[in-house]
Amino acid sequence: MTSLKNFRVDVSTKGWCCIFDVQLALSPLGLALALRLSDQMDIWQVRGFWQLLDDSDYYLSNQKMLQREGAYQLPIFSQGVSKLNQSREILSEWQAARFQSDLMSRLCWLGYAVEESKLPQDIDAQLDYRFDVLAQSLEERWNKGHPQSQLVQVQNECARDATALTVALSRYKSFVLTLYENHSGETEDLQEPQLCKYIRNCDIDCIQADNNPLINSMASYLIETLTSTGALELVYASGLKLAVVHIVAPKAYVMSAQYSDEHQDAQVIPLKTTSGQSGNVQNWNGCSAFWYPLWK
């Protein structure tokens, strides 16, 4: 077998869509990190993130409701009274940034309508259709494994939106930038990102990628991006442990939309299967995900 010792892959970060996981966005220096990275790649915020900001005072006052077992956890809402001031400071920074057009113009997001969205010029008109269908069908998959759940909590909506948006943007090269944990300090005892747990709860395989030249090449170039944008100093100062999640969904490339004649807006038209679920859940057939830390 040919040796891979001198194997090299060149990866350009130009044109990459980086979905900024809410856990990372609401971490110390998360806002500054997003703005720095936006110099070289499109940084996407998920739709549920803005809802969290709008209702942040309520969630800070009712933290226990967000700590139900099995839910996608957001540490900023589960740190207790001792770190309440730090949580408020992080949230207030994002809330202040929302009203500064020079800062918000550097980020991307998909709102509930075109006028509520901030999209790159080269994004196709069917993105909102793909996202809505994928988010709806992903929620069905999650509910199937959690039949007693009446509502998807807001933090689960953030995980759902990050997963669906990453897949909806597949044709533009997309990945999720998030956090992992390592409580013991041992490199062999890495705890996967919270997003991976959510993905697996939706009956989608999500594994930690093996150490190989392909993964090492991508990680190296992302680290170079952190360095060239000045973001690396923020990561070091905050102690953030960054991880990357890739989601491979073959059917997302061939999704088609049916447009209304009046509004030319993409409409979600679910097809019912014999199980009672919409046929759109099949868009996740053959889907898989993997993650890796940028460093250990």
- Tokens at 166, concatenated: 């990453």
Q: What is the pLDDT of residue 4?
A: 40
CB 201 within 8 A of CB 163: no
Q: What is the pLDDT of residue 156?
A: 86
pLDDT digits (tens, 9 = 90+) for 116-134: 899 998 898 889 999 999 9
The phi, psi pair for 19, rounded to 5°, reads -85, 120
CB 88 within 8 A of CB 63: no
Q: In what order do the strands lie in the sheet with 42-45?
A: 108-109, 42-45, 17-20, 174-179, 242-248, 288-293, 205-208
- Tokens at 92, concatenated: 């207030």
CB 279 within 8 A of CB 238: no
Q: Which of 39, 73, 45 is nearest to 59 (CA)?
A: 73
The phi, psi pair for 102, rounded to 5°, reads -65, -30
Round to whole Å and give the CA distance between 110 and 133: 14
Confidence class for position 262, pLDDT limits 50, 70, 90: very low
pLDDT digits (tens, 9 = 90+) for 169-214: 998 999 999 999 865 555 555 789 999 999 999 999 999 998 889 9
Round to whole Å and give the CA distance between 128 and 271: 18
Confidence class for position 26, pLDDT limits 50, 70, 90: very high
DSSP H stretches of helix in 98-153: 101-104, 127-145
The phi, psi pair for 73, rounded to 5°, reads -90, 140
Round to whole Å and give the CA distance between 16 and 39: 12
State pTM to two decimals.
Answer: 0.85
Least confident of 15-29, 47-61, 244-258, 271-285: 271-285
Q: Which of 205, 209, 215 is nearest to 287 (CA)?
A: 205
CB 139 within 8 A of CB 152: yes
pLDDT digits (tens, 9 = 90+) for 65-109: 666 555 577 777 766 656 778 888 999 999 999 999 999 999 999
Beta-strand relationship, 242-248 and 288-293: antiparallel
Let me know if 32 is exposed, middle or buried by CB neighbors in 10 A (0-12, 13-18, 19+). Answer: middle
The larger pLDDT score, comparing residue 114 to residue 293, is at 293
Residue 213 has a CB neighbour count (10 Å cut-off) of 13
Round to whole Å and give the CA distance between 155 and 23: 9
Q: Please give the mean pLDDT across all residues of the chain.
A: 81
Round to whole Å and give the CA distance between 212 and 229: 26
